[in-house]
Chains A and B, each alone.
Chain A
Amino acid sequence: MKKLENVILVDDNTLSNYVTELILKQHNPDVLVEIRENGLEAIPFIEQLKNKKTYVMLLDINMPKMNGVDFLDWYQSNDFNKEVKIVMFTTSIRQEDIKPCLAYEAVMGHIEKPLSLEKIKNLLEKLNT
């Protein structure tokens, strides 16, 4: 089965980032994980991306400076040729938080924290269909 290879993690909770990275490494020891602490910090990285690789972005919603929704607005207003598949990644289970995000074209789905191998497997199945 295919594995996640390039992941961008956008989240202000450093402890959560630490565990998420470990779980991703458990899933695939060769995974490349880029961590940015909010939407604003993720922008330069996205801008320098070339279309070569496919990235999966785990995007938190509630973040300072630029939250998940604002980032999605920015992302949608730029034509990035879909090289990034965005998955909302949050502790929130409130539909009013999550639903608006799922309406964006680039958003592939939603994972409730914490990440697990099982959830990665489900995500891969979804991405491949």
Chain B
Amino acid sequence: MKEKELKKENLITKLSLENAQLKEQLQRYKHVLDDLEDQRNQLITEIKGDFNKKTIQIERSKKALINLSEDLRSEKQMLIKAKDELEKKSIQLNNSNKDLQQFAFVASHDLKAPTSNMMALLSLIVSDNVTQEQNKELIQKLKQAAKSMHDTISTLNEVLSVKMNIKLDMEKVNISTALANILLGIENMLEEHNVELIEDFREVEYINFPLIHLNHILQNLVTNAIKFRREGQIPIIKIKTKKVTDGTCLIVEDNGKGIDLEKYGGKLFGLFQRFHLDIEGKGIGLHLCKNIIEYYGGRIDVESKEGVGTTFKIILN
């Protein structure tokens, strides 16, 4: 029995010792665990901080990128604008080049005719077999040729002076007022031919264009419509404005003679081109209109039918 007790005691001692050992081990494990926990927390903090930093950095980079792309976009837009401008300028330059070439050609051609006549007359005057009487007539004709040359040079001068002084500042023009002023200046002409004028500027009241030039164009188109009226018809001229996609359209429509555009369309705006020789004119009006309009980046179109009438459309942006 005693032995049994002793055994039990021994077991208890052993167990408690083991227990203590286990406790101690547990304590150690706990420390390790605590350490690990600390390390983990520290790591988390570190990672969090890092993450925040990274996030901020990314945010910053993102902003920088957005700025950059905005810069690029506006730069691209500027480039596109510059390109458009350049293209426009190049077209203008091309047009003015062609125009100058045509001017030089027409000038030389139209001066050549009277010069050629003068040369021929002079050769006749100095030849032996002409009488005093004949010579008088030849000199008279020589005068005529010289005058025709002088007239041609004067007209060329007139055209050139418009071409040279073309650049004026844009202004906001009330079309109705501008037209009224022009009509006042040609009152006699309007009355003489009973001209019926219909104007409609409800859609666009103001046009951006140098007033002097707009007057020149309007006056030309209106007087042309009267000059080239149809026999036995009261001239009806409709002048109106319309909004179009690329700006404003100014329309001058008449019920006059009209013109065969298939045949003469290419020459209608040409310098010194005339199509109704029984009607007075120098052949420079429409040419200068087109010149002026194109100089300011606009264009002029024409529709016409013989015996029905003509419509000019001026598109200004």
On A, residues with C-beta under 8 Å from B are: 13, 15-16, 18-20, 22-23, 26, 64, 91-92, 94, 113-116
Contact = CB atoms under 8 A, between A and B. Distances in A.
B109 A19 contact: no
Contacts of B145: 15
Given A26-B127, A26-B129, 18 more contacts: A13-B113, A15-B114, A15-B117, A15-B145, A15-B148, A16-B113, A19-B141, A20-B120, A22-B124, A22-B138, A23-B123, A64-B274, A91-B116, A92-B112, A114-B116, A114-B123, A115-B120, A116-B120
A13 B120 contact: no
Contacts of B277: 64
Complex A-B, nearest 8 residue pairs according to Cβ-Cβ distance, in ascending order: A114-B120, A19-B120, A113-B116, A91-B112, A114-B116, A15-B117, A91-B113, A64-B277
Nearest to B277: A64
B119 interface: yes
The secondary-structure label for the interface of chain B is helix
B119 A114 contact: yes
B293 to A, nearest CB: 27
Nearest to A97: B109
A19 B119 CA distance: 10
B124 A26 contact: yes
> Which has the most chain B C-beta neighbours within 10 Å: A15, A64, A94?
A15
Contact of A19 (B105, B117, B129, B275): B117
A62 to B, nearest CB: 8
Contacts of A26: 124, 127, 129
B279 to A, nearest CB: 12
11 contacts: A15-B114, A15-B141, A15-B145, A15-B148, A16-B117, A16-B120, A22-B138, A23-B120, A91-B109, A91-B112, A116-B123
Interface string B106-130: 0001001110110111011001010
> Which has the most chain B C-beta neighbours within 10 Å: A16, A91, A92?
A91
A24 to B, nearest CB: 11
Contact of B121 (A19, A64, A116): A19
